[in-house]
Amino acid sequence: MVAPRSLPDPLASPRGPAAHRPLRTVEGDRIEALAVRWAACAHPDDPGAAAYLATLLRKLAAVLRAEPFWPLAARTIGAELVTAGGRGPTERIDAEDVEGLVVPTLRLLRRDVPDAFGLQGPEGERRLTAALDELAAGVVGAVHDRIGVERRERDRDELGGHHPAWASAVDGRHIRAVYEQAAVGIAIVSLDGKVLDLNPALCRMFGLEGPLDQPRPMSDFVHPDDMVDVVERLKRLARGGEPDVVRMEMRLVRVDSRVMWVHVTASRVLGEDGSPSHVTGLVEDVSDRHRLWSRLREASFADQLTRLPNQAVADQWLHRAFAGGGPSRVGICALDLDGFHAINDELGQQIGDRLLLGVAGRLHLAAGDNIVCRTGDDEFVVLVAEPEGATDVSRLADRLQAALATPFHIDGHTLVVSASIGVTEAATSSGSAAELLRAADVARGWARALGGGRRVVFDPERDAAEAARFALLSGLRGAIDRGEFRLVYQPLVRLADGRVRGAEALVRWQHPEQGVVGPGRFIELAEHSGAIVPLGRWVLQAACEQAAAWWRELGDEAPFVSVNVSPVQLAEPTWVREVARVLTDTGLPARLLQLEITEQAVLGDELVVLDALSELRKAGVRIALDDFGTGYSSLSWLRRLPVHGLKIDGSFIDGLRKPSADPTDTSIVRALIELAHALGLEVTAEWVETAVQAQRLAELGCDVGQGRWFGDSGPGEWVPELARRSIGR
């Protein structure tokens, strides 16, 4: 039997509205999922553990929801972890067995129960903490009880299963013998709190060499911190009525000043007149049980390697800070050791562990009064109370970085480590602990992306921009299947006569929430994610179908369609075959398709790309080099490219818009045009937005112009009408 503790509970229920309704309705599927995770960490070899643990979780949910809240009810759940098979061998139980069961259990439940059970606010946190404390105590008590049962069974077997004949003869002489010879401690206490007598077992527990020579006050034996509670319990017994038995756990002090935890069952003894005369107490030393319980509690909050506080401590500290009554501002430095996994893999886990111990020590010294927690394999956080803004936390991050700068010398290895540190701070009057932790983690990721060895302060505007980019990326692939993309066409006009030479296909995303999204916002995302391949395939197909319609309407006077090609597409081994297939399916003559590539695309894998471009040119497809003048632009390199034309980047054309043209830009454009013509290439100028630019480009010998001067991009149905007349004249 596990007795409730009588010490004042620091987690006692608060008064006021926050004390009510700490839980929302518990969803069954979340309990089942949590039970599976619990079984995986505590009973990985037991296929039936998840169903059994789900039952215990439902009982725990009932305890947490109960009104009034009674955390002691959770002790039976802890006991069931052991008594219901304990999901392990019953013939041998020791501290390591229990620790292996309870430590991962407490860690998991502290971390996952709030979400799974819908715990809300500080009251929910208070209830969970109290219930898990009692659950651990229940495990320890059940282990103690089981060991006692096994010991009694062993003693019974040694007696041949028979009770001795004198066991039924109970009289005063035998009661005195029990008092003198009992293994359990027995004390006789007066109603005014004086210890009248101790039996030999209790004298030995206190370290006394003999019986008491005179009555002594209880304060000589009871720990000062427990004295008030013990006196109150004694008064209740002395008053008579209920209860007539009190059970409690308390601390006693030996003569050598050592403290022992005991379980006391105190009973009221009546005199001949029927009134209380004194109190007897049965005292059992439970120090081992309490040490095990403390060890389990400590293990669930401390990192096993470095002994630093773990993630659970960091979470609780932050949640309490944001719950009110704590610091008005808090800051976080979130650290990730750069290159640690490579060290661990190359030199072994033993060296890695010793390095982590050294890092933990240095961080602890550099952090001063701030709290350092280990939250992952090579991750740490430092919690700062009342920082003077982000600058104060940044200075701390710099001290942490400096503390790691000196190399570590371990078993003949000189190890140099640095850290990627994310810095954030906020007022606790708004926001939440989860938001602050996420901000620190995001900033740490930014620092890591920059190569490590630095600290980065969280920037809400940057985070919002990246969140928007991520939202676009998440919907990008599905947008193709949902038909959310469309093409518009911008005319490519001959400067000599104003006739349409071709039209460039430009992709737009008709986003269901953000409206029309231009390519500048999603093409780079598509390239990085690989979505550019299916998107580029769709653009090529749709553009060629539209151009084929122009050709059927206009015949030989039809303009070509120009399609941009990503470097990622060029690297696809099936890309050339894909272009040929689209031309065949749409019936578009190859000469009416122009593919625009960039210099960077060719430089990626030059031999493969040149072979692909050469094959396309032989098939009759036009090739144009886009954004010319901004990349490598080597003459010898340009001669080897199988291209038909090049497009001068608009940054050079912009200098020609004013009445007094920029002489440098004019010289550059003239040189580029002459270079292209010397190589037999057609030249297109981008960003032509004024009549002055168009006229100057024509005077410089440029062949084709593209830009707003010739009209904005529009639907494909407009192009045949534009092709029948001169524009921009």
Using one digit for the tens of pLDDT, what is the confidence trace for 266-279? 888 887 777 888 88
Query: Stretch 570-591: mean pLDDT, rounded?
Result: 93
pTM metric for this prediction: 0.54
CA distance 259 to 93: 26
Side chain identity at residue 351, one-letter code: I
CA distance 383 to 378: 17
CA distance 315 to 317: 6
Alpha helices, H only, 159-197: 172-181
Measuring CA to CA, how many Å separate 638 from each of 634, 645, 679? 6, 11, 9
Tokens representing residue 7 in the block? 């010490």
User: Which range has the worst mean pLDDT, 151-165, 285-299, 483-497?
Assistant: 151-165
- Report pLDDT digits (tens) over 464-516: 888 888 888 888 878 988 999 999 999 999 999 999 999 999 999 999 888 89
Report pLDDT for 1: 34
- Report pLDDT digits (tens) over 647-664: 998 888 988 887 787 888
Query: Stretch 414-436: mean pLDDT, rounded?
Result: 93
CA distance 392 to 370: 12
Q: Looking at residue 302, what DSSP letter applies?
A: B
pLDDT at 705 > cutoff 50: yes
CA distance 349 to 359: 15
- Give 345's contacts (C-beta < 8 A, 6+ positions apart): none
Report pLDDT for 90: 40
User: Which range has the worst mean pLDDT, 83-87, 111-115, 338-342, 441-445?
Assistant: 83-87
Report pLDDT for 18: 40
CA distance 661 to 653: 10
- Report pLDDT digits (tens) over 622-655: 999 998 876 655 566 677 889 999 999 888 898 8
pLDDT at 672 > cutoff 80: yes
Side chain identity at residue 586, one-letter code: T
pLDDT at 9 > cutoff 50: no
Query: Which of 108-117, 313-322, 496-505 is most confident?
Result: 496-505
Report pLDDT for 707: 94
Per the CB < 8 A criterion, the answer to whether 331 and 424 are in contact is yes
Q: Pairing state of beta strands 413-415 and 371-374? A: unpaired
Query: Stretch 326-349: mean pLDDT, rounded?
Result: 93
Query: Stretch 581-590: mean pLDDT, rounded?
Result: 97
CA angle at 367 for the pair 363 and 368, rounded to the nearest 5°: 130
CA distance 419 to 340: 10
Q: How confident is the model at residue 169 (pLDDT cuts 50, 70, 90)?
A: very low
Report pLDDT for 149: 57
pLDDT at 174 > cutoff 60: no
Per the CB < 8 A criterion, the answer to whether 609 and 602 are in contact is yes
Percent of the chain exceeding pLDDT 90 equals: 43
Tokens representing residue 93 in the block? 């139980």
CA distance 246 to 100: 34
Query: Stretch 115-133: mean pLDDT, rounded?
Result: 82
- Give 462's contacts (C-beta < 8 A, 6+ positions apart): 446
> Residue 452: CA atoms inside 13 Å, Cβ hemisphere, count?
12
Higher-pLDDT residue of 424 and 236 is 424
- Report pLDDT digits (tens) over 49-78: 888 888 889 889 888 888 878 777 888 888
Query: Stretch 436-456: mean pLDDT, rounded?
Result: 94
pLDDT at 79 > cutoff 70: yes
> Which of 533, 543, 473, 544 has its CA nearest to residue 509?
473
pLDDT at 158 > cutoff 70: no
β partners of residue 423: 333, 457
Q: How confident is the model at residue 8 (pLDDT cuts 50, 70, 90)?
A: very low
Instruction: Calculate helix-pair angle for 74-83, 121-158, nearest 10 degrees.
Output: 40
Mean pLDDT rounded to a whole number for the chain = 84
Per the CB < 8 A criterion, the answer to whether 467 and 525 are in contact is no
Q: How confident is the model at residue 422 (pLDDT cuts 50, 70, 90)?
A: very high
CA distance 417 to 359: 9
Count other C-beta atoms under 10 Å from residue 237's C-beta. 22
Report pLDDT for 622: 97
**Token pair 């539209």 is at which residue?**
546
Measuring CA to CA, how many Å separate 380 from each of 56, 65, 209, 248? 33, 34, 52, 40
